[in-house]
A = this chain, B = another copy of it.
């Protein structure tokens, strides 16, 4: 039951964060995390890819320092990390706000 690797705050890079959020699927995942104050289980995440691909995207978000990944039994729970807010003030807030605006007018699944 090895724990997941999470980067330290000082190792979080702006380019990596933006690159991670540049993918529509990952941006959608982070948006869904925002709607939940605390953690969210894997089963509650709506995404149109298989579990192997989802695991890959989770690893990308985790390595970028955007989420915290916790395992409990056979299930996984993820939550937003707010270290990015401290490192890059306003970046995550404005992106999530913009994503909420644009995704509310269009389809939940993006192209």
For residue A9, CB closer than 8 A to chain B, the reply is: no
When the two chains form the complex, which single residue of B13, B21, B87, B88 contacts A18, counting CB atoms closer than 8 Å?
Answer: B21
Q: Within the assembled complex, what's the spacing in Å between the Cα atoms of A95 and B95?
A: 10
Nearest residue, chain B, Cβ from A25:
B15
Nearest CB of B to A29, in Å: 13
Nearest residue, chain B, Cβ from A94:
B90
Are A22's CB and B24's CB within 8 A?
Answer: no
Are B98's CB and A94's CB within 8 A?
Answer: no
Nearest residue, chain B, Cβ from A95:
B91
Q: Within the assembled complex, what's the spacing in Å between the Cα atoms of A99 and B14?
A: 7
For residue A102, CB closer than 8 A to chain B, the reply is: yes
